[in-house]
Amino acid sequence: MTFCTSHYLNEITESSRRATVLSFRSLAQNLAYGGMNILFAVLMAAVKLRDPQIVDPFGAAMKWLPVYAALLIIVLAIFSARMLGSARTRG
């Protein structure tokens, strides 16, 4: 995914701004990965707090992965639709 995104950004960005755009992409991607890891750690802690006798909090938290993915897709779809809608009204 990183290669495809970088390739696309290289194609559409003028050379004077390319380094800034690629740096921002990298920063945004790292923040997203960090945020997902923090949320998953919070989920694992919540699972462990709810049932202190649980042996595998990672396995129990993984059961929530489809719900987490579905919510993330919905949020991204709403955000993308709004961004595309505002871009079409401006352009």
pLDDT tens for 39-91 read 889 988 998 999 989 889 889 889 988 998 899 899 989 988 888 887 677 65
**Pick from 82, 45, 85: which is nearest to 61 by CA?**
45
Among the listed residues 73, 54, 55, the one whose alpha carbon sits nearest the alpha carbon of residue 65? 73
CA-wise closest residue to 2 among 35, 27, 37, 39: 27
Q: What are the extents of the domains in the chain?
A: 2-90
* pTM recorded for the entire structure: 0.65
